[in-house]
Amino acid sequence: MDYLVNGFWAAFALLANMDDATFSAITATLVSTSYAMAASLLMGLPAGFALGYCDFPGKKVLRLISDTLLAFPTVLIGLLVYAFITYRGPLGEWGLLFTLPGMAIGQTLLALPIVVSWVAQAVEGLDPRCRQTLLTLGARPLQLAWLSLCEVRFAIAMVCLTAFGRVITEVGIAMMLGGNVRYHTRTMTTAIALETSKGEFAQGIALGLVLLFMAFAINVLMTFIKHRGRI
């Protein structure tokens, strides 16, 4: 057990001394996750709202597809995106492979079904009398949509935090599309996997502690949002 104790002490030293490799992995993780979350929310929020609020032909099929993609294997997402952005793929000339934006594409595909399906579910859970009341008060279509969206704002915040937590802890997509390049695309999860395989526990433990802190922060935010939603 001595190696675990020594590993924890070395991990605290790396964090306290702001080790370059450790903080480079943290930065790469936050940057790629930010790209993925921005893209997934820009596309997923309106799509999820439309899927849950509007009635149109094929709605049930689209909802089934979106719900099915929640269980889409992450390694398959990585494989499909890799096939498109590799140098022999249709998007190869863009030079996205082994870059943070390329990695964010795969992470976006991971987060998008979460945002779409859960936002749609939240909107479907709205009290029907809310829409009728707004119509009675003379709300226009855009006002009706905006006010309905505000009614589920706490549920949407929960969706965002859940998607963020899912993306930031992903390892398969980051490994396949980012290439685990040190000081460039190495994320916290890929660094932990690499350092553990080499028997170097210090950096892995340090990054694991950072992930644990992030998970704790997300849970605190989710608890706060749940509490606000009941008020």
Model confidence over 152-182: pLDDT tens digits?
888 888 898 889 989 998 888 999 999 888 8
| Ramachandran angles phi, psi of 40, nearest 5° | -70, -35
Token duo for residue 208: 């694991």
Predicted confidence at residue 100, as pLDDT, reads 94
CB 222 within 8 A of CB 158: yes
The enclosing H or E element of 129 equals helix 128-136
Long-range contacts of 140-147 (CB under 8 A, 24+ apart): 145/49, 145/53
pLDDT of 212:
86
- Looking at residue 45, its pLDDT comes to 92
Determine the distance from the C-alpha atom of residue 66 to the mean position of all C-alpha atoms in its chain, rounded to a whole number: 16
Q: What is the pLDDT of residues 26-37, one digit of tens each?
A: 999 999 999 999
The pTM of this model reads: 0.87
66 near 109, Cβ under 8 Å? no
Q: What is the total count of domains within the chain?
A: 1
pLDDT < 50: residue spans in the chain: none
> And the tokens for 106?
């795969």
Q: Is 220 exposed, middle or buried (0-12, 13-18, 19+ CB in 10 A)?
A: exposed
- Structural domain including 5 reads 1-229
CATH of the domain at 164: 1.10.3720.10
Residue pair 186/180 in contact by the 8 Å Cβ criterion: yes
In this structure, the number of other CB atoms found within 10 A of the CB of residue 117 comes to 23
